[in-house]
Amino acid sequence: MSNGIYEAAIEAVVKGDVGMAAETAQKGLSEGIEPLQLLNEGFIPGINKVSDMFDVGTIFIPGLVVSANAMQNAADIINAAIPASERTVQGRIVIGTVEGDVHDIGKTIVVSLLKASGFDVLDLGRDVSTDRFIQEAQDFNADIIGTSSLLTTTMPAQKKLEVALKEAGLKEQFKTMVGGAPVTQRWANKIGADAFAENASSCVKLAKELLVA
Ligand code: B12
């Protein structure tokens, strides 16, 4: 039972109403809706609707920005409600959005779920250079490097990382995971990434598989 929460979430994001988004997130959680379900059935369909409106020219960049703020606000509240893991550490992951790309809402959801599932995660944020990914992964003694890209123009940075790891003789040391709306399994295969995940839950599942591979 969602009592119109999902509809309200969609409306809040479409309207770019930060207050309504926050209230809806809190209300949904207090009614016992699972955090991921609240995102997957409410706020994410909301931002996807905004994206469709942007595509057909019903809204423009300023509208996208206010909607993104509303989405971000709700996602922050929901991410904080994902219960902390009591399990032992599953593995160490360095993750970030690639250079030239500031989209980080999805990446941050992935980070929250990885942490909640017992991974030790170093979130490098957004606009992260290839050199920094590699340096931080070495310093953090990471098992996996995860990169997020939301723009077709920044996807080549995921390939650049694969090439740089090979050139530095580090490809065997780190597994790589790629994600972001335009990213596909085909792209992952093409560039030689170890895994692609289309959402946070499958990212956790695949990360666990990579660690035993
Ligand atoms: C919100 C948004 C913005 C916000 C971003 C705010 C923020 N803090 O993130 C703002 C307004 C700033 C923005 C700016 C721009 N945007 Co924008 N944006 C979007 C929008 C509408 C939604 C993205 C989003 O948050 N989705 C919700 C999250 C939950 O989904 P997600 O990111 O895909 O993440 C999930 C999975 O992909 C996966 N995942 C994500 N990361 C990772 C990482 C790993 C390792 C793994 C395994 C999985 C994984 O798990 C996540 C959870 O399920 C998209 C459209 C869309 N539907 O994707 C356009 C979109 C991505 N933007 C677009 C564009 C063009 C831009 C701008 C260039 C616009 C402009 N002209 O200025 C700028 C780019 C700025 C830059 N240099 O980066 C285009 C890209 C087109 C293209 N083919 O490249 C899109 C597709 C819109 C469109 N239809 O044209 N944008």
Q: How far is CA 66 from CA 16, 17, 47, 54, 70, in A?
A: 5, 8, 11, 13, 6
| Position 144 confidence tier, pLDDT thresholds 50, 70, 90 | very high
CA pair distance 164, 81, nearest whole angstrom: 37
CA pair distance 80, 91, nearest whole angstrom: 21
The overall pTM is greater than 0.85: yes
Q: CB within 6 Å of ligand 1 — which residues?
A: 44, 47-48, 50-51, 54-55, 61, 64-65, 68, 72, 95, 100-107, 109-110, 146-148, 150-153, 177-182, 197-200, 203
Q: Which residue, by CA, sits nearest to atom 48 of ligand 1?
A: 179
Tokens representing 35 are 């955090």
Q: Which residue, by CA, sits nearest to atom 38 of ligand 1?
A: 199
Per-residue pLDDT tens over the stretch 69-115: 999 999 999 989 988 766 667 899 999 999 999 999 999 999 988 98
CA pair distance 41, 128, nearest whole angstrom: 30
Per-residue pLDDT tens over the stretch 1-44: 577 999 999 999 999 999 999 999 999 999 999 999 999 999 99
Candidate of 144, 150, 199, 202 to mutate for ligand 1, largest count of ligand atoms within 8 Å of Cβ: 150
